Amino acid sequence: MTTTQHRKGLVLDFGGVLTTPLLPAVLAFEKRAGLPEGALLTGIYLNPEGIRLTEELERGALTQAQWNEAAGRLLGIEGDNLLGRVFGDLRPEPAMIAAAAAARRAGIKVGILSNTVGLSPWNLYEGYEIDTRYDAVVLSEVHGLRKPEPEIFHVVLRELGLTAAECVFVDDTAQHLAPAAELGFATVQAVDPARTVAALEDLLGMSLAGADLGADTSTEGARQSG
């Protein structure tokens, strides 16, 4: 694929893009917790009550501790620090973190647009230095909005000082890509880091290889999520 106009901005989802994939972490938790495979996905993320709870959590209308307690009841397990236990295997994704840093050094404005899950008792972002390594950080709970609502995309664009037509948006969740594309973003679904980086190189018109991984990745976030 080629592009006639390279983009000036890069907007990244966090979990599953700048971290390792979410699904393997969930499946590993189910095994540790003695749950049948898929129990959490069906009991929370495909269950109307679980969906309602999660959307309220992402909007900041529910605390993480409240979600943990309610979700634990739905699953029939202990709710204490449930999200921290569910995503305990998440680690930084070095290739994507390094690519974002390389793009920023080359003059691309790089922002994070994340549906949050609260910051306590477990902080997904701990150790990633998101406030210093990125030009804009938009967390859903701060604004009372969540992807895929178009309004939250406008928030990150305002903070970057760019238009959607000037930006690329990367997310691992397909349903978040359509509204971004309708606004004018070039979109990339994060499935494999190498493929994602290759797509970004094409859209941004630059090489993102050869970044200093040691300077741009963090092990502290991995220790925190463990």
Q: Is the separation of the CB atoms in 93 and 192 below 8 Å?
A: no
Average pLDDT, the chain: 92
| Residue 47 exposed, middle or buried by CB count within 10 Å (0-12, 13-18, 19+) | middle
Q: What are phi and psi of 110, to 5 degrees?
A: -120, 125
From CA 94, how far away is CA 109, in angstroms rounded? Answer: 19
State the average pLDDT over residues 149-171: 98
Q: Is 42 helix (H, G, I), strand (E, B) or coil?
A: helix
Question: What's the pLDDT at 209?
Answer: 78
Binning pLDDT at 50, 70 and 90, where does residue 3 land? very low
Binning pLDDT at 50, 70 and 90, where does residue 157 land? very high
